[in-house]
Structure 1
């Protein structure tokens, strides 16, 4: 088994990634500004924006692999130039520290937002479902930073691919386990509210991903793509999402109502198909999301009216 650093290991996504990797027998070290209660990882507080401190931490840990999740994760959380600066500097520092420490594999989190949906100037998909070959069209500092992150990965493959295995993944709207039971999501509302009001999920084209499924994707990447000599092309980018859409209506119907410009492309979607395809991850890594909102969501019973009481 490997020693693996997970940056952002105390976050909504990171906690499940850490737990999945630890359950698979890996020695996991979480680097985050905060600690997660009950984490199976060794937890360190390191300022990854400090290049020297980041390098020193990696040198001390001597990891075999790094999963880089740490970032400003919400568009608009800071002004666009600051988000771009922070997210790209984090990746540069982690990459340089990984190379200096002799890390063998580095997986970096990107985002589906690189595709460009939600643009105030309008956006129309060229085809559906969206896959990794669809053109990107970032329109804010966050999505632009994630395009840059993917380009840094491609650059590193060209420059260091003989000694470092790399990959990037675009996790859909991450749902932590406690959110199925009613804890608020990253947007502040609950999942039950998100299902009841499709407009809340339409802004993300109904994409989502259980954090535990994300952890299993990372584990699959470590097993299949990280080893030297893997047949998974170095630097491959993956969409990682649930096998259905986060909406009760048929996907094509809901998408056309939310984004009329997608009506023609939506005709290719059947039933509750997701708008984002994870077929590449299934083909190259043998990974597929197993959890659906239809099986995981715990909706509290509606209150009984006085006239219905026994």
Structure 2
């Protein structure tokens, strides 16, 4: 399949573009800069420019579009700029896709649409899933909700399949090795101090698992994914201890329903993606974190020498699957 990936030079886009190319797709990566991606035909285009975007689509004629471009971090720019940039980008890209007859379009949203950054937000029930009502609390989250509504509009009015996904806190391969995350902390620091990960309710996602999700979405029957949205995250929480043991001190908005999240289970449910697409994440912080950093984190938590699978059933299941 000929797949155009917008935002291909970004932290999520790099892994998605390379992962799709490795899976056998012909990938055209589009961003304002090139990233030197293996197996990817990179183009430098400012997608805010509708004429330049349409010219690119006329030339490439992709079978599918994965739209990841946009301002990717809340409060990293003035609120109005975030809102205007992200919403203009999605409409420009999706309109160009429709004009040239692209059959499939998948756009990235965010878990932040639920509004958990607001001081007054409280979880109605857990885990949070696709039926949890959105309550955006800043321009970034609002822009992502507009992206979802734009996707839904095109799903209602255009042929083909249009969908969106909400990737959790994305971790790129180099960040497991010690590079700073998007908030400037290392993963070792985020695991050692639960307060750092609590602001995102301990959610995370390896960028390579995101690429596998996109590949599964592209392969699914159109009628199964058209107009649908998916949470996409790791099968555990970005925390050494269970969320049930942490929420009272670090995430009180979760409430007592979090007591049921034992055995390392995440706050955000990913069941829909597994049920409809057969996708399941393969990586956790226990398997991907730099070994020396992992040892320090476990030592600080009095877990040195323990079997990671004992506190992570998802990891145990994965080992069993690989053994078979």
TM-score (norm 2): 0.88
Contact 2:165–2:231 (CA under 8 A) maintained in structure 1: yes
Contact 2:162–2:225 (CA under 8 A) maintained in structure 1: no
Q: Are the structure 2 counterparts of residues 231 and 165 from structure 1 closer, same or farther at C-alpha, using a change threshold of 3 Å?
A: closer
2:135 aligned with 1:137: yes
Which blocks of at least 5 consecutive residues in structure 2 are unaligned?
297-324
Partner of 1:46: 45
Give CA deviations for 1:154-210 in whole Å, capped at 9, x if unaligned.
1111111xx221110000000000111111111111101111111110000000000
* 1:271 to partner: Cα distance: 1.6
Equivalent-residue separation in structure 1 for 2:235 and 2:156 (angstroms): 33
Partner of 2:160: 164
Higher helix fraction: Structure 1 or Structure 2?
A: 2
Q: Which secondary structure does the structure 2 equivalent of 1:166 belong to?
A: strand
2:230 aligned with 1:257: no
Aligned length: 294
Partner of 1:96: 95
Partner of 2:266: 274
Q: Alignment RMSD, CA only?
A: 1.2
Contact 2:33–2:44 (CA under 8 A) maintained in structure 1: yes
* 1:37 to partner: Cα distance: 2.4
Give CA deviations for 1:225-250 in whole Å, capped at 9, x if unaligned.
4xxxx341411000000000000011
Which blocks of at least 5 consecutive residues in structure 1 are unaligned?
303-310
2:206 aligned with 1:205: no
Equivalent-residue separation in structure 2 for 1:20 and 1:294 (angstroms): 22
2:232 aligned with 1:240: yes
2:295 aligned with 1:296: no
Partner of 1:108: 107
TM-score (norm 1): 0.92
* 1:149 to partner: Cα distance: 0.6
Contact 1:80–1:142 (CA under 8 A) maintained in structure 2: yes
Contact 2:17–2:40 (CA under 8 A) maintained in structure 1: yes
Give CA deviations for 1:259-288 in whole Å, capped at 9, x if unaligned.
223222212212200000110000000001
Alignment of structure 1 residues 138-153 onto 2, 5 Å: 138-153=136-151
Q: Are the structure 2 counterparts of residues 231 and 156 from structure 1 closer, same or farther at C-alpha, using a change threshold of 3 Å?
A: closer
Equivalent-residue separation in structure 1 for 2:169 and 2:188 (angstroms): 15
Partner of 1:127: 125
* 1:21 to partner: Cα distance: 0.8
Contact 1:128–1:275 (CA under 8 A) maintained in structure 2: yes
Question: What stretches of structure 1 move > 4 A for 4+ residues in a row?
Answer: none
2:215 aligned with 1:219: yes
